[in-house]
Chains A and B, each alone.
Chain A
Amino acid sequence: MRELVILSGKGGTGKTSLTAAFASFSSDMILCDADVDAADLHLLMAPDIQQKTDFQGGNEAIINPDKCTRCGLCIELCRFDAVKSTFEIDPIECEGCGVCYDLCPEKAIDFPVTTCGEWYISDTRFGPMVHARLGIAQENSGRLVALVRQEARKIVQKNKIDLILTDGPPGIGCPVIASMGQANAILIVAEPTISGIHDLARLAQLAAHFKIPAIVCVNKYDLNLDQTKAIKDLAKEKNITFAGVIPFDKNFTESMIQGKNIIETYENSQASIAVRKIWEKVMAQPAMNIERLI
């Protein structure tokens, strides 16, 4: 089993379009959309949902007004200012820590499990796909990311699949950390902009912190050749493999509108050729050729 996680720092750099394009190059893989907060991969994959499961992400406190004596202990204990002076709990602020529930002297607080989203196992024209949808304004996206990846691993084990292609979340926080542990490598899709380089540097630092090999490629490289070179230099300095560049191409958006990847729609375009080269280089990396235990 091998897993490549595609990340981008900020998002919007073409990470999902690239993940979708890669799906055309392997017949022995499973797709995993770990960008649960704003999942987009399904828009290109037309997944046929086979199994749908609730994601129970945590608990939420509720005060029972009949039992509450308004002693005020919960207000004092709650570090998240979630208990209002009316002795009601603001579900948006509630962190689900359960401190009020455990310590209320009147046992007036309920702490039911909350459903924070759904996850799916689907069939696509490229193979199986595991994806999810985090409920709006819900917590625990890191846990849902971990769950989606774990379910992908179960399918891999059962069906002896070679590769997991994971579309990762943006940022460098909790969901991103949850998306890269145990992966063979991460591929960072960077943009040749000042902010792109800044985001790349932070993401690379995170990967180094968790000792995950990082590979970088530049999308829309022709937008700014100086910045593309700066990314190349940064990669060299940080010991990150540079996998290549992709030119700006409106066909990425065109393909998106058709619900396809660019290899399906414009296989011989410059961009498609560049994507294929990057794929080959990534898959030839030693890090990608180590079997990971499940």
Chain B
Amino acid sequence: MIISIASGKGGTGKTTVATNLAFSLGKNVQIMDCDVEEPNSHLFLKPEIRERQAVIAPIPLINEFKCSYCKKCMEICRFGAIAVVGKKIITFPELCHSCGGCMAVCPEDAILENDRELGEIETGSIGDISFIHGRLKVGQVMSPPIIKKIRTLADKQMVNIIDAPPGTSCPVIAAMKGADFVLLVTEPTPFGLHDLTLAVETIKILNIPHGIVINRAGLGNNDVKEYAKKEGIPILMEIPFDKKIAQVYSRGELIVEKIPEYKDKFLDLFDQIKNLVNNLAKSPVKDIADKGAATK
């Protein structure tokens, strides 16, 4: 099973939920931190890292001896990553999306591909919990390939918990697509609600069952609950606004370790998710048809 933990807005407690959920389960679980621009779950889980691999993407390498300056590569490149001016050809590797168009179109066979490092993926464990995270290299912009690479490491035998990046664009999609369930973490504030509605719209496009965790409950107002009710999205857990929890977080510690009664709450959260996913699995045809109609 794959559970993706997301939120339209950053800083709502996604990582808190992902790490505490994984730790409460304790075994047969794998955490996959896909927030590759700012990965944080390792700070809480303190995994022992055993392997490191670079994530590589190709960029064009021009053989100027063969190049006839025909400009075909420049014309096909939709990302402005190649410029031919007179008898000069320049590439801008940061802009390249590695589509391979320039190489495919070059009539002189003058383009080869070279590797560029986008970032890295580290794997390891904390006790019986498997750990994977990715890290975008500072100054690089292509995070989706790193996320997609992490996703290939999902283990069907385990519960895979994805810590997704914030927002609603390509990196988030890469972290949610194909998940069995998306857990949305939000705050009961106007910003929290606004970003939650965007996240819900994203999930509707992907057609994935979802539920809400309200973090810092008690702060702000009741609008998130009303919205959830109106949309028929279950609220699966509330974590109260509590200075003690905030301090535990600030020190990079897990709530379930410092305030043990939370362990049962996270296990209960998991049971609810499991039931929701299983119930859907029992009536897939009807449900998907319903959902399709609802999103149209």
A9-B38, A97-B101, A195-B43 known; A137-B141 Cβ under 8 A: no
Closest to B41 in A: A195
Query: Shortest beta-carbon distance, A146 to chain B, in Å?
Result: 12
A227 to B253, CA, bound (A): 13
Name the interface residues of A163-203: CB closer than 8 Å to any CB of B.
Answer: 169-174, 176-177, 191-196, 198-199, 202
Q: When A170-B10, A224-B250 are in contact, do A257 and B167 touch as well, CB less than 8 Å?
A: no
Number of A-B contacts (CB under 8 A): 179
Give chain B's interface residue range (CB within 8 Å of chain A).
35 or more
Q: Does any Cβ of A come within 8 Å of B247's Cβ?
A: yes
Contacts of A41-87 to chain B: CB distance below 8 A: 43, 58-59, 77, 79-80
Q: Is the CB of B189 within 8 A of A256?
A: yes
A40 at the interface (CB under 8 A from B): yes
Q: Contact check, A11 vs B166: say whether CB atoms are below 8 A apart.
A: yes
Q: Is A294 an interface residue (CB 8 A)?
A: no
When distances are taken between beta carbons in the complex, the residues of chain B under 8 Å from A137 are 168-170, 173, 202, 205-206
A224→B40 contact, CB < 8 A: no
Contact across chains for B104 and A77 when beta carbons are under 8 A apart:
yes
Asked if B105 CB lies within 8 Å of chain A CBs, one says yes
Q: Complex Cα distance A136/B142, Å?
A: 19
- What residues of A have a CB within 8 angstroms of the CB of B139 in the complex? 177, 206, 209-210
Interface of A, secondary structure class, is loop
Q: How far is the CA of A2 from the CA of B221 in the complex (A)?
A: 37
Q: Which of B190-198, B227-235, B268-276, B286-294 contacts A (4 or more CB under 8 A)?
A: B190-198
B162-213 interface (Cβ within 8 A of A): 165-171, 173, 177, 187, 189-191, 194-195, 198, 201-202, 205-206
What string of 1s and 0s marks CB contacts (under 8 Å) between B74-105 and chain A?
00101100000000000000000111110011
Q: Once the chains bind, are A172 and B138 in contact (CB under 8 Å)?
A: yes
For residue A16, CB closer than 8 A to chain B, the reply is yes
User: Which of A37, A99, A202, A223 has the most chain B CB atoms closer than 10 A to its own CB?
Assistant: A37
Chain A residues whose C-beta falls within 8 Å of the C-beta of B105 in the assembled complex: 102-103
Tell me the nearest residue of chain B to A12, going by C-beta.
B11
A11 to B78, CA, bound (A): 31
Q: What's the Cα separation between A250 and B76 when bound, in Å? A: 53
CB-CB < 8 A to A256: which residues of B?
A: 189-191, 220
Query: Which residues of B lie under 8 Å from residue A162 when comparing CB positions?
Result: none
Q: Which of A9, A59, A193 contacts B249 (CB 8 A)?
A: A193
Taking the closest CB of chain B, its distance from the CB of A180, in whole angstroms, is 12
Assuming the A-B contacts A139-B169, A257-B189, are A99 and B104 also in contact, with contact meaning beta carbons closer than 8 angstroms in the complex?
A: yes
Contact A97 B220 (CB under 8 A): no
* Neighbour of A173 across the interface among B37, B177, B252, CB < 8 A: B37
B274 to chain A, nearest CB (A): 27
A172 to B98, CA, bound (A): 20
Say whether B177 contacts A92, CB under 8 Å: yes
Bound CA span A79–B97, Å: 10
Of the candidates A11, A77, A138, A198, the one whose C-beta lies within 8 Å of that of B11 is A11
Q: Determine whether the beta carbon of A102 is less than 8 Å from that of B101.
A: yes
Say yes or no: A257-B202 contact (C-beta < 8 A), given A38-B195, A102-B76, A172-B138.
Answer: no
Q: Is A213 an interface residue (CB 8 A)?
A: no
Whether B201 and A195, one on each chain, are in contact in the complex, defined by CB atoms closer than 8 angstroms, is: no
Q: Is B251 an interface residue, CB under 8 A from the partner?
A: yes
B191 adjacent to A16 (CB under 8 Å): yes
CA distance in complex: A16, B171 (Å): 22
Q: Smallest Cβ distance from A134 to chain B, in angstroms?
A: 6
Q: Give complex CA distance A198, B252 in Å.
A: 11
| A136, A177, A198, A209, most chain B CB atoms within 10 A | A136
Interface residue B9 (Cβ < 8 Å from any Cβ of A):
yes
Q: Is A136 within 8 A of B168, CB to CB?
A: yes
Question: Taking the complex as formed, is B246 at the interface, i.e. its CB lies under 8 A from any CB of chain A?
Answer: yes
Residues of B within 8 A of A142 (CB): 141
B60 interfacial by beta-carbon distance below 8 Å: no
Residues in B whose Cβ lies below 8 Å from that of A8: 10-11
Q: Are B99 and A10 within 8 A (Cβ)?
A: no
B134 CB-CB contact with A under 8 Å: no
Contact of B169 among A16, A37, A43, A257 (CB under 8 A): A37
- Min C-beta distance of B179 to chain A, whole Å: 14
30 contacts between A and B (CB under 8 A): A10-B11, A11-B9, A16-B191, A38-B166, A38-B198, A40-B9, A43-B194, A59-B78, A77-B100, A79-B99, A79-B100, A80-B99, A95-B97, A134-B168, A136-B198, A137-B169, A141-B169, A170-B37, A170-B38, A171-B38, A194-B43, A194-B44, A196-B250, A198-B40, A198-B43, A209-B138, A210-B139, A253-B219, A256-B189, A257-B221
Given contacts A95-B97, A177-B139, A253-B219, 4 further A-B contacts (CB under 8 A): A9-B38, A170-B10, A191-B250, A223-B243
